[in-house]
Structure 1
Amino acid sequence: MVLKAVILIGGPNTGTGFRPLTLDVPKPLFPIAGHPMIYHLIESCSQVEGLDEVLLIGSYQSDEQELKNFVSSVRKEFHLNVRYYQEFAQLGTAGGIYHFRDQILSNEPEAFFVLNSDICGEFPLTEMLQFHREKRQGADYHHKEVYTMLATEATRQQSHNYGCIVNRKETGEVMHYVEKPETFVSTSINCGVYLFSQHIFQHLSSAFKDKQSRPNFESKLPPTYRDESISLEKDLLMELAGTDKLFVYHTDSFWSQIKSAAGTIYANRNYLKIYRHKRPERLRSNTDHGPQIIGDVWIHSSAEVHPTATIGPNVSISKGAVIGAGARIKESLILESAHVHDHACILHSIIGRDSTVGAYTRVEGTPNDPNPDKPFSKMEVKGLFNSNGQLNPSITIIGSRVQVPSEIVVLNTIVLPHKDISGSEMNKIIL
């Protein structure tokens, strides 16, 4: 049976909370644990038997060179038919699926996965497919119109930040769904991973026609404008809940959203942990003539790391980066062609492409991890500023092509690309 996957990659006007990291690279291609964000999703899809086509849908320009190079690369590596389809406008989380329905339905797939691109985790897609097929063939559900969504647990306090699911424990049938409710609904939350049969397009068509027939009094656009966006969560899932057609598959494996720059540090740590258990050959180990490695570390083969440097835990060092003698790097991402000079210290930070950190300089951020004392706790996505107008402590981000001089301290600071720092900085945004 033919299976496909659709990955919703958004566009240049989405993911603004991810800046300045997206000022010189599309968010879906930002490297985490040595690979672009959506690489990890495609790798998960490639492990599903019978899945041979992945459609990337978004509003990035189709001639975006990095995106074209990425698509070509993953085609060869995973032997999948990977294609990018550009939306003519931002169509919401389901509008692109409906717009490119002919491409999705070609070769009559049994079902197709849909994944949001701003998530990371250990996705049980094969198990989810088996669950989906059991529901289609079950004695109590003779109809073949079955849809499955992936869910995990959150704390009661954090659940309102996500889509909340109420389901029958015995069957997994979704009885009620609310997107980011104002009051408590459930600790079971939507992971942004779905498995749909072809019948889903009947519901998408109804949602599209219904939206076109309703006047949008809140819109500032002219009355003749046709809003063709569809919300997967509000226009589809909420309608399917309680119809005996939508089911939930729960996972206890690692899962997180990547809504902010700080989320990349957390995602990097957990993907490296997955490497340790499933792809240990990707991690760097200690050798007689190499740097001291602590914990999980990924280093590109072209990076130059001095033997006296100490790296880790939870560090990724990208292509062409140079790490000097005695440097100390922990819980950080060093991006392509960055240069960390001798005895510099990098903690909880991102060093951008082609940036330089001078000798004996300390670059440090504040981690924003889930509360380890609360089961099912998730990352808090904080705004840049608190209620007093002060910058919230977070990771330090050195944008691309930034020169950080020697013998200074940079703490909890965001530096935009192509800027130079003249002295120590703390709790600032340098524009």
Structure 2
Amino acid sequence: MYPSKFKALILVGGFGTRLRPLTLTKPKPLVEFANRPIVEHQIEALVKAGVTDIVLAVNYRPEVMAKAMHDYESRYNVKIHFSVETEPLGTAGPIALARDVLLADATPFFVLNSDVICEFPFSDLAAFHTAHGGEGTIMVTKVDDPTKYGVVVTKGGSSVIDRFVEKPQIFVGDRINAGIYIFNPSVIDRIQPRPTSIEREIFPAMASESQLHCMDLEGIWMDVGQPKDYLLGTSLYLQALADRDYALAQAAVTSSAASSATSPTPVPSPSPVASSPYRHSRTASQAKPPRLVKIAGPPLCRLPFVKGNVLIDPSASIGEGCKIGPDVIIGPGVVIGDGVRIVSSVIMEAATIKDHAFVKRSIVGWHSTVGQWARLDGTAVLGDDVHVVEEVYVNGAIILPHKEVKACVLSPQIIM
């Protein structure tokens, strides 16, 4: 039986340069993903798995982080500690720096990167780790093209990691490090409080002693630390919500059918979910029950102007004749004018999209405005309080906060 209480360390890191211009306004963990800060998804999942103490390893704007974390402490009934780095310590050094908290008892602790989005199966990971008895376990996820990553190779089909192969040009495997770990406290003896890479220095040493195992991560996984991956992660997350809703509805249908078989009073079944526009790929003859997706999030929006998987905050205002989706998230207080088309995009809090604008594969930052008949495309990213005037086309531009765009931007560039 694995312990019922754990600790965790989240590698919050530095400046979030890959996600600029959004991180010029907020530290990356506080940038919203699906209308909640990225780090809140992680904190919520950790607390559900029995984590009572969370260490945030921070070296950028800790005072901003502290204010938000105070709210999370009371909301989730968890103690949040700050480990402030005077210099960047890499991915292993912060573990040694937080030793006083992590070594307060003899229980294992989780470590995770701050920009990972997945189902966060921490309880399953803890049980797997306890069962094999090794010093550490990393979660791995399968990728289509392993030549772009460091690949995890195991011994003889077991969970024991043999070695890591960086960007292999011949096939050695298709599983990569997912950025989520659990360790026994003894791992801290391997790490000094100096700049250290857990992937390049600590993991190979543990693997050489057969003390490092891996566990497959089911479901979605994405590092959302840069705009194109943030948008792809949004699409995957919304599909996971749709899969979850579909599986729950199918379970309800099955339960109702079973109840009808034993009850003299017929119980009406819900309308078939397979015909829903959110589940084009499902067929009525599908025999295998869907996997219950363990992901948190509100139900998807199902309104006449919505196409595909869309999440809209209840406080947003949507005009007449709009078409929104697929793969769109609209944040709190957003105002959408009449005749607007939005596809594969994220519209953040208090932004305004005026009449007949078209937004595709883009991120519209907080308090920004897209003018009438304007068009965004090509992974354009508007920072905080950016204003695109009417009838302007913006293609792939990164626009820093508090700017006004008065002319078309025809090719990707940074507007400062």
Alignment check: 8 A CA contact 2:394 2:410 kept: yes
Q: What SS does structure 1 have at the residue aligned with 2:195? A: coil
Answer yes or no: is 1:244 the counterpart of 2:210. Answer: yes
Pairing 1:202–2:189 present: yes
- What residue in structure 2 maps to residue 149 of structure 1? 138
Aligned with residue 412 of structure 1, among 390, 396, 400:
396
2:200 to 231, 234, 244: 234
Q: 1:104 aligns with which of 95, 102, 105?
A: 102
In the superposition, the TM-score normalised over structure 2's length comes to 0.81
Matched residue, 1:121: 118
Other-structure match for 2:20 = 19
Secondary structure of 2:214's aligned partner: strand
Structure 2: tracts of 5 or more residues without a match: 245-294
Tell me how far 1:357 sits from its aligned partner: 0.8
> Shift in Å at residue 163 of structure 1?
2.8
Aligned residues: 361
> Which residue, out of 240, 247, 254, partners 2:220?
254
Which of 78, 82, 86 is equivalent to 2:76?
Answer: 78
Cα distance, 1:297 vs. partner? 1.8
- Paired letter, 1:127: D
Q: Distance in 2 between matches of 1:299 and 1:425?
A: 29
Distance in 2 (CA, whole Å) between partners of 1:70 and 1:199 is: 32
| Alpha-carbon distance in 2 for matches of 1:109, 1:35 | 33
Distance, in Å, in 2 between the alignment partners of 1:362 and 1:355 is 14
Shift in Å, 1:423: 2.4
Mapped to 2, the partners of 1:310 and 1:47 lie a distance apart of: 37
Contact 1:3 1:109 in 2 (8 A): no
Aligned residue in 2 for 1:192? 179
Distance change (3 Å), C-alpha of 1:407 and 1:119: same
User: In the alignment, which residue of structure 2 is the partner of 1:338?
Assistant: 351
Residue 298 of structure 1 pairs with residue 287 of structure 2: no
C-alpha contact (below 8 Å) 1:178/1:238 kept by paired residues: no
Q: In the TM superposition, what are the counterparts of 1:18-417 in structure 2 within 5 Å?
A: 18-48=19-49, 50-64=50-64, 67-106=65-104, 108-136=105-133, 145-155=134-144, 158-178=145-165, 185-205=172-192, 228-276=194-242, 277=244, 278-279=295-296, 281-286=298-303, 292-365=305-378, 395-417=379-401
CA distance in 2, matches of 1:280, 1:203: 38
User: CA offsets, 1:72-115, max 9 Å, x none?
Assistant: 23223332223332112111101111011011122x14111100
Equivalent position amino acid for 2:404 in 1: D
Distance 1:400 1:424 in 2: 19
1:130 positional shift = 1.3
For 1:116 and 1:401, how far apart are their aligned partners in 2? 29
How many Å separate the matches in 2 of 1:34 and 1:345? 21
CA contact (8 A) 1:320 1:337 kept: yes
Query: How many Å apart are 1:178 and its aligned residue?
Result: 4.2
Unaligned runs of 5+ in 1: 137-144, 209-227, 366-394
Q: Tell me, in whole angstroms, the C-alpha distance in 1 between the residues paired with 2:306 and 2:80.
A: 36
2:191 maps to a residue whose letter is L
By how many angstroms is 1:249 displaced?
0.7
| CA RMSD across the alignment | 2.1
* Cα distance between partner residues in 2 of 1:82 and 1:297: 33
Distance in 2 (CA, whole Å) between partners of 1:343 and 1:4 is 50
Identity of aligned residues (%): 32
Distance 1:110 1:23, change over 3 A: same
Say whether the 8 Å CA contact 1:71–1:83 is kept in structure 2.
no
CA contact (8 A) 2:27 2:61 kept: no
Tell me the distance in 2 between the aligned counterparts of 1:341 and 1:273.
28
Cα 1:401–1:183, aligned 2, differ >3 Å: closer, same or farther?
same
| Alpha-carbon distance, 1:407 to partner | 2.0
2:25 aligned with 1:10: no
Q: CA deviation at 1:135?
A: 0.6
**What is residue 380 of structure 1 aligned with on the other side?**
none
